Structure 1
Amino acid sequence: MSDRHTTDGGWVPDACTLPTAERPLRLAEWDRFFVDAVRGIDRLSARHLRFQLDGAVRVEEMARDLAARESSCCSFFTFDLSRPDPASLSLDVRVPAAHADVLDALAERARSPRTRS
């Protein structure tokens, strides 16, 4: 039995506590974040993904807010935002091994033509 289901082209684990009606809105927020803020994606391991972000302060604020809200409904995510140097910003996303496929879906969504156009 799978612990995941699809939602409007998105992929959401059953462990997510975000109300079903709010999920398309959250997916749209992630899509907008991918377009507006993400400049590169590095898969560091099966359980670790790094987004290279635009270094603007507004992007940092957006990333902190989105990560905090996502963590509150999908507690298996760990988000770490860092500034390797003053002009750079990265968002590391980690999951336990049982949710590596959720990370796969997040990476795929970030790279999709729909968000990269």
Structure 2
Amino acid sequence: MCTSDTSAAGLDWVPASCTLPTVEQPVRVAEFDDLFASVQSAERVDPTTLRLTVPGGVEAQARDLASRESSCCSFFGFDFASAGDVLEMTVTVPPAHVAVLDAFAARAS
């Protein structure tokens, strides 16, 4: 798990089940923050689903980051759909991880 001051470090959405080494977690959060800077809209579809709309130009970055995140936090589901010049990135979690998605969504907004 992250340090006890995870919220101040921006790691409040990193769950205890994450297998990414603690020292690498702030780097991953920074990568997501970089992606989140391009979010055009964020819609909470339901408690376990978040849909982000980003420019199509960040598709490779978004897919790479989602792939790496899924390898250490396997409960995350990521789906992508191109819609013209934008990309819809849908993030899902099981009900047991809604609090993680809540924090993830807060950072994306």
TM-score normalised by the chain length of structure 1: 0.84
The equivalent of 1:96 in structure 2 is 94
5+ residue gaps, structure 2, are none
Question: Which amino acid letter does the alignment assign opposite residue 20 of structure 1?
Answer: T
| Structure with more contact order per residue of length (Cα contacts < 8 Å, sep ≥ 6) | 2
Q: Any runs of at least 4 consecutive aligned residues in structure 1 with deviations exceeding 4 A, and if so which?
A: none
The equivalent of 1:81 in structure 2 is 80
5+ residue gaps, structure 1, are 112-117
Q: Give the Å deviation of 1:21.
A: 0.3
Q: Give distance in 1, aligned partners of 2:20 and 2:27.
A: 11
> How many matched pairs?
103
SS at match of 2:41: strand
Question: Which amino acid letter does the alignment assign opposite residue 93 of structure 1?
Answer: V
The equivalent of 1:22 in structure 2 is 24
Q: Superposition RMSD on alpha carbons, in Å?
A: 1.2
8 Å contact from structure 2 (residues 10, 29) kept in 1: no
CA deviation map 1:11-44 (0-9, x unaligned): 2111100000000000110111111x31110000
The equivalent of 2:46 in structure 1 is 45
The equivalent of 1:66 in structure 2 is 65
TM-score normalised by the chain length of structure 2: 0.89
Q: Give distance in 2, aligned partners of 1:67 and 1:81.
A: 10
8 Å contact from structure 2 (residues 56, 86) kept in 1: yes
